[in-house]
Structure 1
Amino acid sequence: MNKERIIKVAVVGAGYVGSTTAYTLMVSGLISELVLIDINKDKAEGEVMDMNHGMPFVRPVDLYMGDYKDCAGADIVILTAGANQKPGETRIDLVKKNTEIFKGIISQVLKYNSDCILLVVTNPVDILAYVTYKISGFPKNRVIGSGTVLDTSRFRYLIGQKVDIDPRNVHAYIIGEHGDTEVPTWSLANIAGIQMDEYCKGLDLCLGEATRKEIFENVKNAAYQIINKKGATYYAVALAVRRIVEAIVRNENSILTVSSLMEGQYGINDICLSLPSLVNRKGIEKVLDIPLNSEEMMLLSKSAAALKEAAGTLEL
């Protein structure tokens, strides 16, 4: 992209996540043009009307309901559309269903825009980022999954709660799949550069094995808990998407745990998963080689294997 800054974003899908993402971007002040696209045009139009009525309170944004032709000129197309998992439906069933949906969506987007960054949010996000990469033919840096950006935020928040520290000063990653096989990188967790064990020792705190397990289980199962209580998750994921968009728009060279195509990292190939990555106007500039311990390496390999198994069931 040769523009000085990104100004137009298209959001495909006006469900809970898509509409909340659009709202979060509207109030962010990052962009000047935002189009919301959905097969249910009444739903998309209603969401847009509701947001536009608050426009006098935010920076001006040209926000409208559109169609795929309005993806033309968008610098980022955010994909949030797809089916939700139904009771009794397996994860593989959901993968196959959303893959078919994505084939249609991506072919429509490509009719009008082949120069954008495709940001995949729909679950299972790693598989669908891989599907998007394969179907679109885009270079790998321009296909990004929201990955474990949200899981990493949950991880930092819960650690911060335990040690009574602003989560912005907690540095830790969740890597691998956004899902059941995700991996906490406890060996790298630190507060202001002080390794977690050392920090806790100095304050007579203890994040022992049981506490660490509790924190990670709460991270991994957070979506299930929220869905059980209120039906869907959307606020935090919309903020995670806004953060990714911000890193791209502002050309920040920020490190985010987005999902992207692996090409030999830790011996992993031909699947998308999350590792700390340098994100800027080009999309993903570089996937970082972080020092993992042997257990984390083993768990990451297992995560990759589970994703490859799921991807292997698809016809791409």
Structure 2
Amino acid sequence: MKMRGTKLSVVGAGAVGTSLAYAALINGAATHVALQDINATKVRAEALDMAHGSQFLPPHVTVEGSDDVAVTAKSDVVVVAAGAKQQPGETRMDLAAKTVEMMKTLIPPLVEQSPDAVFIMVTNPVDVTTQAALKISGLPAHQLFGSGTVLDSSRLRWLVAQECGVAVSNVHAYIAGEHGDTETPLWSTATIGGVPLKKWEQQTGQLSPEARDRIADQVVRAAYEVIDGKGATNYAIGLAGTRIIQAVLRDEHTVLPVSAQLDDWHGISEVCMSVPRVVDGRGVGRALALPVNEHELQSLKDSAEHIREAARRLGF
């Protein structure tokens, strides 16, 4: 595989940003990881804690942390994990408004430091944040995209594997649409070991419509369950984010359900949301025109309108 570059910057030293930086380090996704946050004491401590384990990291991997945006200069990939914290009584739209307002001051200096970098948005609500950041940055559509439903699809595959008693690697299924309550499982194109789900159900009696509905509901509720138990989701998104980073830095041309601007995908346009797309050294590439049934298409159109309306309220 061709290495596109080796510097990764992660903006935001909270639970998600630090987990992502840590996962990237131990996977050797980049040889130089820079962690940036406005909290100088915390970001330096987080980077120092990771650096103390350098003996056990892949060779030639380094990490540094700073509150100065200059630490991100000349990055090959910049991951934005910084965002406003949701306060008691606040709605998701309140959170979106604060986060998008933050992006107006956060994104331009990052682009100035690394104009050729591929930008990956992780901050929630990720689809709205990605749509706003794309316009704020002025970058080409291929150069900035969101982590989308890569994590949701991983949750779906894990649950299907648990239900059917097979390895996760043998399950191929995507969640598309919003990274959130209106997301849609693409059951019609899902397979287990190459066997379409409809045939799998006929052959094994597993994955009935009721079971699929239960699994889809579990995927939607997964984040809420983790947050209720420990306050944040961080490990799985750290791994999912690292997978996306590797696809870019290794120029893999890997298909991942990331959130990016759509242009007439099954009639859906002018919105950032997740469908399976090719991810490579340039960033996000073409969207796969995989077939969807009538129910899935309507759900995806509803999801697109939900994102579009949220972005519209915020001026994007």
TM superposition score normalised by structure 2 = 0.97
Which residue does 2:213 correspond to in 1? Answer: 213
Please tell me the residue identity of whatever aligns with 2:207: L
Which residue does 1:32 correspond to in 2? Answer: 31
Displacement of 1:200: 3.5
Which residue does 2:104 correspond to in 1? Answer: 103
Partner SS, residue 297 of structure 2: helix
Query: Aligned runs of 1:41-190 on 2, under 5 Å?
Result: 41-59=40-58, 60-66=60-66, 67-190=68-191
Which residue does 1:277 correspond to in 2? Answer: 277
Which residue does 1:257 correspond to in 2? Answer: 257
Return the alpha-carbon distance in structure 1 between the equivalents of residues 236 and 72 of structure 2.
25
Partner SS, residue 271 of structure 2: strand
Do the aligned residues in 1 keep the contact of 2:24 with 2:30 (CA within 8 Å)? yes
Cα displacement string for residues 31-53 of structure 1 (whole angstroms, at most 9, x for unaligned residues): 11111000111111111111111
Displacement of 1:268: 1.6
Return the alpha-carbon distance in structure 2 between the equivalents of residues 268 and 86 of structure 1.
34
Partner SS, residue 46 of structure 1: helix
Displacement of 1:72: 1.5
Return the alpha-carbon distance in structure 1 between the equivalents of residues 136 and 265 of structure 2.
22
Do the aligned residues in 2 keep the contact of 1:163 with 1:205 (CA within 8 Å)? no
Return the alpha-carbon distance in structure 2 between the equivalents of residues 312 and 285 of structure 1.
25
Please tell me the residue identity of whatever aligns with 1:90: T
Return the alpha-carbon distance in structure 2 between the equivalents of residues 273 and 119 of structure 1.
13
Please tell me the residue identity of whatever aligns with 1:135: I
Cα displacement string for residues 21-71 of structure 1 (whole angstroms, at most 9, x for unaligned residues): 010011011211111000111111111111111110111312101321122
Do the aligned residues in 1 keep the contact of 2:3 with 2:249 (CA within 8 Å)? no
Return the alpha-carbon distance in structure 2 between the equivalents of residues 255 and 119 of structure 1.
16
How many residues align? The count is 313
Partner SS, residue 276 of structure 1: strand
Q: Alpha carbon RMSD of aligned pairs, Å?
A: 1.2
Return the alpha-carbon distance in structure 2 between the equivalents of residues 113 and 251 of structure 1.
18
Which residue does 1:287 correspond to in 2? Answer: 287
Return the alpha-carbon distance in structure 1 between the equivalents of residues 125 and 265 of structure 2.
21
Displacement of 1:315: 2.8
Partner SS, residue 147 of structure 1: coil
Cα displacement string for residues 91-110 of structure 1 (whole angstroms, at most 9, x for unaligned residues): 11111100011111102212
Runs of 4+ in structure 1 deviating by more than 6 angstroms, as ranges, are none
Please tell me the residue identity of whatever aligns with 1:175: A
Which residue does 1:301 correspond to in 2? Answer: 301
Do the aligned residues in 2 keep the contact of 1:163 with 1:200 (CA within 8 Å)? no
Which residue does 2:315 correspond to in 1? Answer: 315
Q: Among all aligned residue pairs of Structure 1 and Structure 2, give the percentage whose two residues are the same amino acid.
A: 41
Please tell me the residue identity of whatever aligns with 1:101: M
Do the aligned residues in 2 keep the contact of 1:148 with 1:274 (CA within 8 Å)? yes
Partner SS, residue 261 of structure 2: strand
Return the alpha-carbon distance in structure 2 between the equivalents of residues 119 and 46 of structure 1.
24
Please tell me the residue identity of whatever aligns with 2:16: V
Displacement of 1:4: 4.7
Return the alpha-carbon distance in structure 2 between the equivalents of residues 100 and 70 of structure 1.
23
Do the aligned residues in 1 keep the contact of 2:184 with 2:296 (CA within 8 Å)? yes
Return the alpha-carbon distance in structure 1 between the equivalents of residues 210 and 202 of structure 2.
16
Return the alpha-carbon distance in structure 2 between the equivalents of residues 198 and 269 of structure 1.
33
Return the alpha-carbon distance in structure 1 between the equivalents of residues 92 and 206 of structure 2.
37
